């Protein structure tokens, strides 16, 4: 249940693309990779998966790059996780068929934790990440005289 680098990079890229959603100014992979010190080839694979699912679009040409085509407030973190990491297949376990009480308890708690984390990821969107980042930036503004 850790944060994979694929998910982290996808969130960072989606936040960058969400910043340009209204203007539709394309961002090149190199720009995103440089801003966050990410490996370009790895980021390219992640953006490819997001493009196949209709979240972003690639634009060809000298001024090309990637743009977000879905509204950032409609893309949940759970959806992004599922796209880049795949749907997590929880083991179908009938608690009554587990061999002992200890395993039964472990599986019950694991399933509860899994459901809770998915619920949280479904309740936040890419827009929420951007808003939290912007709020953090504003609260840490330094004024010089």
pLDDT above 70 for 27: yes
Domain assignment present for 64: yes
Run of H or E residues at 36: helix 29-36
Distance CA 108, CA 19 (A): 41
Instruction: Give the domain CATH number at 18.
Output: 1.10.10.10
Distance CA 43, CA 49 (A): 10
DSSP annotation of 63 reads T
Domain assignment present for 122: yes
How many domains in the chain? 1
Assign 62 to helix, strand or coil: coil
When the pLDDT of each residue in the chain is averaged and rounded to a whole number, the result is 88
Q: Which position has the higher pLDDT, 72 or 88?
A: 72
Domain assignment present for 58: yes
Share of the chain above pLDDT 70, in %: 88
Domain assignment present for 145: no
Run of H or E residues at 56: strand 56-59
Domain assignment present for 144: no
Distance CA 79, CA 123 (A): 11
* Structural domain harbouring 126: 5-139
Which pLDDT tens digit goes with each residue over 86-138? 866 544 555 556 678 888 888 888 888 888 988 999 999 999 999 999 998 88
- If you average pLDDT over residues 58-81, what whole number do you get? 93
């Amino acid at each position: 249940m850790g944060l994979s680098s694929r998910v982290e990079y996808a969130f960072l890229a989606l936040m960058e693309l969400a910043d340009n959603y209204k203007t539709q100014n394309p961002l090149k992979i190199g720009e995103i990779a440089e801003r966050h010190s990410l490996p370009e080839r790895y980021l390219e694979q992640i953006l490819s998966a997001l493009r196949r699912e209709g979240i972003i679009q690639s634009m060809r040409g000298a001024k090309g790059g990637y743009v977000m085509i879905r509204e950032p407030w409609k893309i949940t973190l759970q959806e992004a996780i599922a796209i880049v990491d795949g749907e997590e297949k929880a083991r179908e376990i009938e608690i009554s068929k587990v061999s002992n009480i200890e395993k039964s308890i472990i599986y019950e708690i694991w399933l509860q934790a899994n459901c809770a984390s998915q619920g949280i990821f479904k309740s936040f969107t890419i827009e929420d990440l951007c808003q939290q980042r912007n709020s953090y930036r504003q609260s840490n503004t330094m004024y010089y005289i």
